[in-house]
Each structure stands twice: as structure tokens, then as C-alpha cells.
Chains A and B, each alone.
Chain A
Amino acid sequence: MYQLDTDTSKVILSLLSILLLIVPLISGVFTTIHFYNSYEFTELMLAQPLRRETVFLAQYIAVASSLCVAFVVGVGFPTLIYGVNSSSLTLLYTGLMLTLVFVSLAFLVAVLTRDKAKAIGVTLLVWFFFSLIYDAILLWVVYAFGEYPLDKTLLVLVSLNPVDLARILMILKLDISALMGYTGALYKDFFGNYSGMLFSTSILLVWILVPVWIALRVFKKKDI
């Protein structure tokens, strides 16, 4: 894509659109499939003198780190080769965060379900929800309550969806937020500065840590 267009920010924007759809899908589905494919081996590991926490966290770290490495090799290297700037770094950062968020969510789904087909189905549903349905609901809200001042509410609602959060972070870095009109200006004001970055990072961290924590609690009491 870098050879097709001279404007790197356009390229990064197209990469972003693909990334926002594909990264959550791949990380989620791969994690669930992995969890169920190694189920018997997990069973054997748990029959060894090991804590359940250790086995679970080892599995989480293994899956998360290999997916992160895959992302860095697949997306990170090409973008960095064509120019290290703040937007390519943000792309890398949001991609990695999204990977971790969806690995966590998929682990949660995997420990809550009993069979592979159901787990993959629910993971796909989670992906579908955050990528499409949530935005649809958001649009509906904007449409239905258009007469009220919604900027702040939307800000909160957007923060609750990791995919939207990643998208906004990226768009703001690309200086095309003007296209989003008044709301864009508000977002720029909020997310664009240092504390906004900190805020979005902490929301994403919550999205990573809370599902893992709940999954760990469930896993400790799960019948294998």
C-alpha cells in the first residue's frame, strides 16, 4: 500500500480500518481455539503440582505475547520501515492494545463456556458487538436524542467500547478530526492532549485486566 500512495497518513488510515476489524477478530478467535485445542494438555498440567493461577496466567501470557509479536512483525515492521512518526507509533500502540483486550475477552468467554463451538460463537458475537452493533446503537442514540446536547454523553459511551476508543485515538493523531465536525473538536480537546491519552490508556487497561481477573476467578473454580 505504501507503493500505491505517497501520502503515508492515508496509508495508515486504510491500515487502521482493516486493523480495527481484523485484529479483534483474529485475536479473539485464535485465543478461544487455542484454549480448547490445548484443553487436554491443560488438564494434564493441572494434574501436576502446579497452582491453577500459574497454569492460567502462563497460558494467557503465552497467547498474548505470541499474538503481539505476530502483530508487530506483520503490521509494525512495514509501517516503521516506511517512516517512524507519531501516527505509525499510535497505530502500533492501538493495535497491540486491541490485541490484548480481545485476548482477555476471549479467555473470559472460553472459561465460561463448556465447548469449543459455543465459545467461538460467543467470541464472534463479542467481536460483532464491539465492531458493529455498538456503533449502530450509538448512531441510534445520536439520531433519537439529536436535539439534546450529547457531546459529553457520547464521549463516555465511546470510551466504553475499546474498538471505538482505538479508532478515535488514531483519527485524532492523523489530523483529520476536523472532518468529524464539532464533536471532533471536542474529542481533540479531550483525547488529543496528554491526560486524554492517559485516560484512554487506562480505560483500555481496564478492558484488558478486568476480563482476565474475572476469568482467573472462574478458572480457579472450574471443573476441567
Chain B
Amino acid sequence: MISIRKVSKKFNKLHALREIDLDFEKGKVYALIGPNGSGKTTLIKSILGLVIPSGGDILVDGESIQKSWLYREKIGYMPQTGRYPDNLQIGQLFEMMKNIRSSNQSLDEELYNFFDFALLSNKRMHTLSGGTRQKVSAALAFLFNPPILILDEPTAGLDPLAVEILKEKILQQKKAGKLIIITSHIMSDLDDLATDLVYVYEGNIIYNDTIDTLKKSTNEQRLGKAIVHLMNQNSVQQ
């Protein structure tokens, strides 16, 4: 689905990504993890075309994304911090997004209904709490039934009930054969959801394999512990 070929990105002197090669395939849930400032967000933004790589190429469904924008039709993106214009109403926001993506795909309004946005549709964005805005972002990402979902810290700031709803939704989408990329610092969430792990450190891919393999090779039952193992190994090698 998404192939990343020798992508690098430099911000002045800082190497955010160093010639990364990576393949994301459909039907899998990738957990993208790494310390703060390791290049996770840069990688996601490169896929979305928000950051323009200094070198290399990214292919979505075999087509280069350079100078192209229609490929974003296939991607549902949930940003880390959803901030919307203050006076926009929830209903207007959803209408606007439906207008932008005037595709004939069937809409997936499950999250919209779960979170009862129909009742809130006259509420203005600035009156909403951070968690509710996060729910809006989530509902928007899933609304158009896109084959690729990119979720940047989806569970941060959500209440436990909403987290469960969102996780259910992600698992359901995974079964539907979609490609899902999640970044998170909450290992227990990733443990429930993800099938594969991509560990980014200082702009390099340190680990890229299934989570089961990782658990076996480190003899750990829980993902959190296994990753601590991985990080320790990594620092020993250096």
C-alpha cells in the first residue's frame, strides 16, 4: 500500500529522517514508536505530503505522491492535537468535510453516532473540551471509509469509554483489511491493537517486524517490557 524509498529529511542541520526504507501493507496495524523527536511525526507528515522530503520517494498504491494530491482521498488522518476554527459548529465541520471529499464512497458514521455528535451539532468548536475535539478528529478520520488510516496519538486525552469505542473501531477496521498506522506512547493500547512494530530512533528504523516475533525473541509477554529490552539492546550495540 505505502512504500517508502530512501526517504530522508533535513531541517537545517538536524537529520529528522535518514534514508528510510519501509513498506506498509494492508490488513495490518503498525505501531510506530520511538522517543520524542525521533522522526515519527516527520515520517507521518511526509506520507501525508505535509512535509516535503529532501530525498527519496514515497509511493501510495504504486504511485509517487510528489506533486499529487488526490491520493489523500485514500487516507484518513487523525492529528495529535485537533484544533478547529473557534466559531465553527460541529455540524458545519462535518458538512464541510463531506463537501471536500465529494466521493461516492459510503460514509461510515458509526463513530459519529457513538459519540452523539448529532445532538451536539450546534455547538461551536471553542466550547468543546480537548477530549471532545479529539473525538471529532477520530470521527472525521473514519468517516470516509478510507483504506489507509493514520492515527497520531489517538487515545491521548480521551475518556476510558471513548478509548474502548475507538479501539473497537480500529480492530473492526483491521478485520476489514485496512492499513492502519498508529503512533502512541501508551504501550498497553498498542499491545491490544497492533500486529507490527516499527521503532524509529534518531531518524533510523531500528526495528521492523511483527510484535509476536519481538515477544518471542525477548521472551516477554507484554509489549512494554519487550520494547524496554529492545531499547537496551540498542544502546548496548551503540
Q: A221-B52, A223-B50 are in contact. Are A50 and B100 (CB under 8 A)?
A: yes
Residues of A within 8 A of B50 (CB): 43, 46-47, 223-224
Q: By DSSP majority rule, is chain B's interface helix, strand, loop, or mixed?
A: loop
B49 contacts A by Cβ under 8 Å? yes
* Partner among A41, A43, A50, A224 whose Cβ is within 8 Å of the Cβ of B85: A41
Q: Which residue of B lies closest to A40 (CB)?
A: B83
A49 contacts B by Cβ under 8 Å? yes
- 1/0 contact trace for A29-60 toward B, CB 8 Å? 00000000010110111111111100000000
B48/A46 in contact, CB under 8 A = yes
Q: A40-B82, A223-B52, A224-B50 are in contact. Are A48 and B97 (CB under 8 A)?
A: yes
A49/B52 in contact, CB under 8 A = no
A50/B69 in contact, CB under 8 A = yes
Q: A38-B85, A41-B85, A51-B69 are in contact. Are A46 and B49 (CB under 8 A)?
A: yes
A47/B75 in contact, CB under 8 A = yes
B100/A48 in contact, CB under 8 A = yes
Query: Which residues 81-127 of B have a CB within 8 angstroms of A?
Result: 81-85, 97, 100-101
B45/A224 in contact, CB under 8 A = yes
**Closest beta carbon of chain B to A125's beta carbon, Å:** 23
Please measure, in the bound complex, the distance between the C-alpha atom of A50 and the C-alpha atom of B51, giving whole angstroms: 15
Q: Which residue of B lies closest to A45 (CB)?
A: B100
Q: A223-B51, A223-B52 are in contact. Are A49 and B79 (CB under 8 A)?
A: no
Q: A49-B101, A223-B50, A224-B51 are in contact. Are A44 and B79 (CB under 8 A)?
A: yes
- 1/0 contact trace for B122-151 toward A, CB 8 Å? 000000000000000100000000000000
Q: Which residue of B lies closest to A222 (CB)?
A: B52
B45/A49 in contact, CB under 8 A = no
- 1/0 contact trace for B42-70 toward A, CB 8 Å? 00010011111000000000000000011
Please measure, in the bound complex, the distance between the C-alpha atom of A40 and the C-alpha atom of B48, giving whole angstroms: 14
Residues of A within 8 A of B71 (CB): 49
Q: A44-B77, A224-B45, A224-B51 are in contact. Are A49 and B69 (CB under 8 A)?
A: yes
Please measure, in the bound complex, the distance between the C-alpha atom of A41 and the C-alpha atom of B82, giving whole angstroms: 8
B215 contacts A by Cβ under 8 Å? no
Question: A44-B77, A48-B100, A51-B69 provided; 12 other pairs, C-beta below 8 A?
Answer: A41-B84, A43-B79, A45-B100, A46-B48, A46-B50, A47-B50, A47-B77, A47-B79, A49-B70, A50-B69, A223-B50, A224-B51
What are 28 A-B residue pairs whose CB atoms fall within 8 Å in the complex?
A38-B85, A40-B83, A40-B84, A41-B83, A41-B85, A44-B77, A44-B82, A44-B137, A46-B48, A46-B50, A47-B48, A47-B49, A47-B72, A47-B79, A48-B72, A48-B97, A49-B69, A49-B70, A49-B71, A49-B73, A49-B100, A50-B69, A50-B72, A50-B100, A52-B69, A223-B45, A223-B50, A223-B51
3 cross-chain pairs, A with B, having the tightest CB-CB distances, nearest first: A40-B83, A47-B77, A49-B72
